[in-house]
Amino acid sequence: DAGVIQSPRHEVTEMGQEVTLRCKPISGHDYLFWYRQTMMRGLELLIYFNNNVPIDDSGMPEDRFSAKMPNASFSTLKIQPSEPRDSAVYFCASSLALAVGSYTFGSGTRLTVV
Amino acid sequence: GQQLNQSPQSMFIQEGEDVSMNCTSSSIFNTWLWYKQEPGEGPVLLIALYKAGELTSNGRLTAQFGITRKDSFLNISASIPSDVGIYFCAGQQTSGSRLTFGEGTQLTVNP
């Protein structure tokens, strides 16, 4: 398996623009997680899905952030409008419900909002 | 919510030295995981622990699941330059629940 695939790897955008981050989980994994990593706050869980259904979005910073999982092989995290404080590395991870050792991260998207 | 306190925050050591880091919580966890993150990449699983008291090795790495189920330890023996990175602990309270991550330990190994 190719692992969790995220795109793009790097994104530079201007404040106010819409940003869409993409994730393809490992085939067969039924959980998908979106994290944000910054120096100040470390790894923060934003939202996670089980069988394509959002389970907990309490980590989503504000209404500018939204996430969708239209099918088992694709998820998006959208920021609209983007702000400089959104600059961070965004990770997607997937896992099997009963196999915590299967929890696998993608390589991340480094977002810079100028 | 539950928090994991990881220490130390950073370590600067000489090649060949042994390293110890730990993770503690006020809550009980049923599973402990240790991850390593290298620059520009996502965290990669090193060791998973499933039972209190369990001691598991992966090459020069050894991790232990504390008896109280509120802590875990990671040791690296005879460090080498490629051990550089950020090491994260993570805990899971019940099967299928989300992972809680520690703040990470930044390890620097001087040749």
pLDDT at position B110 is 93
Residue A97: phi, psi to the nearest 5? -55, -45
Q: ∠ at Cα B77 (B71, B82), nearest 5°?
A: 105
Contact A103 B45 (CB under 8 A): yes
pLDDT tens, position by position, A47-91: 999 999 999 999 998 899 999 999 999 999 999 999 999 999 999
Q: Are A64 and A77 spatial neighbours (Cβ–Cβ below 8 Å)?
A: no
Cis ω for the linkage preceding A70 (within 30 of 0) = no
Interface test with B, best of A103, A104, A110 (most B CBs within 10 A): A103
Residues in chain A with CB shorter than 8 Å from the CB of B99 are 100, 103
pLDDT of residue A40: 84
Token pair listed for A37: 């990593």
B62 Cα distance to chain centroid: 10
Nearest-Cα distance to chain B for A14, in Å, is: 22
B95:A97 CB<8 A? yes
Strands B10-14 and B105-110: parallel
pLDDT tens sequence across A30-59: 999 999 999 888 899 999 999 999 999 999
Residue B82: DSSP 8-state: G
pLDDT digit string (tens) for A21-30? 999 999 999 9
Band (B2; pLDDT cuts 50, 70, 90)? low
Q: In the predicted model, what is the mean pLDDT of residues A3-17?
A: 97
B24-38 pLDDT, tens per residue? 999 999 999 999 999
Tell whether the model's pLDDT for residue B1 goes beyond 70: no
Mean pLDDT of A13-27: 97
